[in-house]
Chains A and B, each alone.
Chain A
Amino acid sequence: SQTIHQWPATLVQPVGSPLSLECTVEGTSNPNLYWYRQAAGRGLQLLFYSVGIGQISSEVPQNLSASRPQDRQFILSSKKLLLSDSGFYLCAWSVSKIRSGANVLTFGAGSRLTVL
């Protein structure tokens, strides 16, 4: 069966410090991978998605970047955190299938980031 792991679960970082959140998927190959963010009291915002190694698409301009160094590894980074980067970060995966509206997303447990 497939599993998705995300870490760290919680972190508190000072403004201007770097960030690295990691997500890995097991039990599947060539998944589509996604990073979402949920600010306090707000909805889910898609930040990045990837359909393959080294292929990253950004949905919104921001202070963050994403990388996919391996097939089942997705990393969210920042060189210098801002207060506005605080939020609940969620990684998700789905099968890679063209023209399938039935594809289901499976989410990780999330990483809660507080920038002080």
Chain B
Amino acid sequence: DAKTTQPNSMESNEEEPVHLPCNHSTISGTDYIHWYRQLPSQGPEYVIHGLTSNVNNRMASLAIAEDRKSSTLILHRATLRDAAVYYCILRDSHGSSNTGKLIFGQGTTLQVKP
């Protein structure tokens, strides 16, 4: 899987939007962009994923650059419960393997201030 680059940490104020960036300049045409988050002392949870178009769900929005070399996870109104480590991961859909394994990087630690 291609590599992603994220800032180590970010801060946000409660009830304000948060934009978490991810660079993936070596992304291939068949790579999906996935976001997971890990709250303290819990396992990671799926947030959102996309291929080319922007995506929205109940948790967040994913904005994908036109050249797909970067993406941004958007939390529209941060709450204290959103404080977590956010991971941006590329998943290859091409190839014969069905292992489905995810390789996590260091992610971005998001702090939310009241």
Minimum C-beta distance from B19 to chain A (A): 23
Residues of B within 8 A of A46 (CB): 101-104
What is the 8 Å Cβ interface bit string for chain B, positions 33-58, against chain A (1 contact, 0 not)? 01010100111111001010000000
How many B residues, CB 8 Å from partner?
31
- Chain B 70-107 interface 0/1 with A at a Cβ cutoff of 8 Å (1 = within): 00000000000000000000011111111111111111
Q: Quick one: closest A residue to B104, CB to CB? A: A44
* Chain A residues whose CB sits within 8 angstroms of the CB of B98 once the complex forms: 32, 51, 96-100
A59 and B99 CA atoms in complex are apart in Å by 12
Given contacts A32-B100, A49-B101, A94-B100, contact A99 B43 (CB under 8 A): no
B98 (CB) vs chain A CBs: closest residue: A98
- For the complex, give the distance between the alpha carbons of A51 and B96 in Å: 13
Q: In whole Å, how far is A101's beta carbon from the nearest beta carbon of chain B? A: 3
Given A34-B101, A46-B102, A104-B49, check contact A98 B96 (CB 8 Å). yes
In the complex, whether A27 has a CB less than 8 A from a CB of chain B is no
Inter-chain contact total with CB atoms closer than 8 Å: 80
Interface string of A85-111 (1 = CB under 8 A from B): 000101010111111111111111110
Residues of A contacting B93 in the complex (Cβ-Cβ under 8 angstroms): 99-102
CA–CA, A109 and B41, complex, Å: 9
Q: What would 14 A/B residue contacts be, using CB atoms closer than 8 Å?
A: A32-B101, A44-B104, A46-B101, A49-B99, A49-B100, A98-B96, A100-B100, A101-B32, A101-B92, A101-B93, A102-B93, A103-B91, A104-B46, A105-B36
